[in-house]
Amino acid sequence: MQWLRSVFQDELDSVTSTLVELSNLVSDAIEKATHALLTANLEEAESVIAADDRVDTVQHDLDSRIIDIIARQQPVASDLRALITALRMSADLERMGDMAHHVAKITRLRHPQGAVPSELLLTIEEMGKVAKLIADKAGAVISSRDIEKAVELEKDDDEMDKLHRKLFTTLLDDSWSHGTETAIDITLIGRYYERFADHAVSVARRVYFLVTGKFSSEN
């Protein structure tokens, strides 16, 4: 029985490792997507778009493994909670990859022109930095199950929300001179970064629940 438990623990550890791998992939994707957006770099944007297939494949394979583990091991209590939580986290991480993918597609759509007006470059750059920070923290939280760091992600998300509001302040200003098409692009870009961060916070909240059996007070 001890041997069987050891095998099961190895499977759980492998699930955690794959979730961390996913967090690393989406962190890399949002960093590259941001750089491509700010520099109108089509080659880099295309690499992010192509790499999203890797995120999808890892997520689908992970979900299949988790379902197989549940069917074979019939876990209960905290073990079952860990596996169900992992399924939900993998979905959140896959959606983060989608958000980076969408940012890269706007770069491709507007190439060779840049999609971001000069007065918004710094704001988008900051949104990209916060997004990468949040993704990296989410991966660290998955790996360490550090609930204090999980709660920190709520504050990081507040910073993303502030930047999102700043974006809209510029868009709605009477001095906006870049037309409707660019306004739509910026609205979508802001939404993609905001949703990226929201999914990372969701990951952190799931880890908090996994460790404590309770929902974060920030929920």
Q: Mean pLDDT for each consecutive 10-residue tract of the chain (219 residues)? A: 70 96 98 98 98 97 96 88 95 98 98 95 98 97 95 94 95 92 96 98 95 72
Q: What is the pTM of this model?
A: 0.94
Please tell me the predicted confidence (pLDDT) of residue 101.
98
Q: Tell me the domain boundaries of the chain.
A: 7-212
pLDDT at residue number 2: 56
Considering only the C-alpha atoms of the chain, give the largest distance between any 2 of them, rounded to a whole number of Å.
71
**Distances in whole angstroms, Cα of residue 91 to Cα of each of 19, 22, 62, 94:** 10, 10, 10, 5
Residues 116/216, Cβ–Cβ less than 8 Å: no
Q: Residue 27: its pLDDT value, please?
A: 98
Burial of 72 (0-12, 13-18, 19+ CB in 10 A): exposed
Give residue for tokens 């923290």: 137
Strand ranges in 44-183 using DSSP code E only, listed in sequence order: none
Cis peptide leading into residue 112 (ω within 30°): yes
CATH ID of 7-212, from 3.40.50.720, 2.60.120.10, 1.20.58.220, 3.40.50.300: 1.20.58.220
Burial of residue 195 (number of CB atoms within 10 Å: 0-12, 13-18, 19+): middle
Q: For residue 213, what pLDDT is reported?
A: 85
Rounded Cα distance, 50 and 6, in Å: 38
Which long-range contacts link 170-174 to residues 24+ away (Cβ below 8 Å)?
Answer: 170/119, 170/120, 170/123
Residue 217, pLDDT score:
57
The pLDDT of residue 3 is: 55
Q: How far apart are CA 105 and CA 181, in angstroms?
A: 15
Look at residue 219 in the predicted model and tell me its pLDDT: 44
